[in-house]
Amino acid sequence: MPPPENPVALVTGGSRGIGAAIAERLTADGYKAVTLGRTSGDVQADIGDAESVKAAFEQVREQHGPIVVLVNNAGERRDGLTIRMSAEDWEAVVNTNLNGAFHCTRQALDDMLKARWGRIVNISSVVALHANPGQSNYGAAKAGMLSLTRTVAREMARKGITCNAVTPGVIETDMTTGVADKLLAGVPAGRIGRPEEVAHAVSFLCSDGAAYINGATLAVDGALAA
């Protein structure tokens, strides 16, 4: 089935960096792109809190319509060696990156099932595939997103809904400030990626041309995890 008319796309963490580039690209693709952030964006919510997410989705539906594209992009880093990592830092990162993706997916699926069409793209990370010391919390959460991706894909494949993941490598954003130069030496492509390159991958996975791609992980990392 084709997407509904005037389709709404919700991008979490969409006010800057990769999220902003994704929102801009989806707008160019013809979607009504709505951004969600904790303190910024078109709608605000703490995505780690199920009730906050539910309220935000209701607001988007009332103002823009049902959500048929969801990009789980919001992320948080609190780096540190595992032996020194506090429970608070572990839980905060897992709550934002993994629990938040679940809460948003759970809400969006209601709209997608009614439309019998939907696209979910989870922005994971190269560290889900290629361990980086000091990021056990972030890596575990991003790896969990890949498992969530595959499971939702199998559950929803007959409903016209796809769920795929993108694993960015070293991308020029606020989150890579202070670590990009250190990681660059290990990138076979020899350069840092741009947010627009991740956005292009998301655009493809949301397109009709990707309708038979489901449960896949698309690396945008300059061969870092190869």
Our answer to whether residue 138 is catalytic in this structure is yes
Residue of 19, 138, 169, 219 marked catalytic: 138
What span, in angstroms and rounded, lies between the C-alpha atoms of 42 and 146? 27
Tell me the residue ranges of DSSP E strands in 16-99: 32-37, 43-44, 67-72
Number of helices (H), then strands (E), in the chain: 7, 7
Name the DSSP letter for residue 96. Answer: I
Tokens at residue 203, please?
A: 């655009």
What span, in angstroms and rounded, lies between the C-alpha atoms of 21 and 151? 27
- Answer yes or no: are the C-beta atoms of 167 and 126 closer than 8 Å: yes
Who's near 131: CB < 8 A, 6+ residues apart?
A: 139
Within a 10 A sphere around the Cβ of 39, how many other Cβ atoms? 7
Active-site positions? 138
